Structure 1
C-alpha cells in the first residue's frame, strides 16, 4: 500500500529514508514521539494504532507489535511522559542543597511546571482510559513513585521517622494533585500553585509542624 502524504511528510521530517528499518527500541521511541504529537495536535480520540502507523510511516503490524492495543499504546505514552518529567526532577534535585526550603521549592516548581506543560495530554490520556484496570494500577504506581522521590529528597532535611515522612509525602502529593486540577481548570496559574505547594511542604515538615 502506498504511503499517504501525511506519512511521507512525517518520514521526511525525521530525515528517515522510506522503508528504513530501525532497531526495535528506536522504533518504539519514534512511535511514542509520534503518538504524543497526535494527542497534542488532534486529541486522544484520534490516537489509534492505525493512525499512529500512518503518521509514523510504518505498517499497522509494526504498531501492533509494539503496543498490541490502543490501551497499551496510551499506557506506554503515559509512562514515557512521566519518565521524562521524573528524570528532569531528579536532575534538578542533584543540584539542590539539602535544605527543606530549597528542596520544597524545587519539587513544587517541577511538579507544577510538569502539569503546565504536559498536563493537558496527561489528563486527556487518563480520561481516555477511565475505568481501565491496568491504567488504574499504573496511575497508582506513578503516584507512589512521586511519594518515594519526595520522601527520599526530603529525608535529609527533616527529623521524622521514615514512616511518618512517607505518610506526610502521601498527603503532599494529594495536595499537589488537587492544585494541579485547579490549575488545569484555569482557577490558578503555575507560579501561584507552586508557591502554595512549597508553603504546604515547608509547614508540614518544619520542626513542630
Structure 2
C-alpha cells in the first residue's frame, strides 16, 4: 500500500496539478493531457482533478494562462534590465517573443489543443491587449505618437510577429532573421 497523498492547500494542489499537466504535455504531447491521465500522473483521485478544472478545456486553459504568465514575467524582467535605447528595447522584445517559442514549446501545443475554444479566443484577445499595452509603455519614451496610436501600432506588430513566427516554424527563416525582422518592425512603429 502506497503513501497517502500529502494534504496541500487548494492553491498548492492546483500548482502541483499544473506542474504534472506540464510534464504530460512535455513528455507525451497535449493530446494525451486528459483529466483522468492528470489524476494518474499526479497520484490524486479524479474528483480532486475535476474539482480544480471541471473539463479538459478548463485544464488546458489554466495551463495556457500559466505559461503566458511565465512569458510575461520573463518579458517584463528583460525590459527592466534593457538599456534604455529604442533599438535595445525593440531587440529585447523581439528576442523574448521568439525565445518563448523555443523555451516554452508547450505553449504552442496547448494553444493548438484549445483551437476553436471560445474561452481561448477571449483569453487571446485579452493577451493581445495586455502585450500591446506592455509594448507601448516600454516604447512610449522613444515615440512622439500619442498613447492610443502607439498601442494600435503595437497590436499590428503583434500580428506581424505571429506571421514571422509561422515562417520560422516552417523553416523559412532563421531565429536571428526573425528577431531582426521583428526588431525593425517594432522600430518602425515609432515613426510618425
Structure 1: runs of 5 or more not aligned? 4-16
* Structure 1 residue 185 corresponds to structure 2 residue 170: yes
Tell me the equivalent position of 2:143. 158
Structure 2: runs of 5 or more not aligned? none
- Tell me the distance in 2 between the aligned counterparts of 1:131 and 1:96: 37
* Structure 1 residue 87 corresponds to structure 2 residue 73: yes
Offset of 1:54 from its aligned partner?
0.5
The TM-score normalised by the length of structure 1 is 0.86
Aligned-partner SS, 1:159: coil
- Tell me the distance in 1 between the aligned counterparts of 2:54 and 2:71: 25
- 1:50-199 residue pairs with structure 2 within 5 A? 50-119=36-105, 121-199=106-184
Offset of 1:91 from its aligned partner?
0.9
- Tell me the distance in 2 between the aligned counterparts of 1:94 and 1:122: 24
The TM-score normalised by the length of structure 2 is 0.94
RMSD: 1.5
Aligned-partner SS, 1:205: coil
Aligned-partner SS, 1:40: helix
- Tell me the distance in 1 between the aligned counterparts of 2:173 and 2:92: 19
- Tell me the distance in 2 between the aligned counterparts of 1:117 and 1:178: 19
Retained in 2: the 8 A contact 1:104–1:198? yes
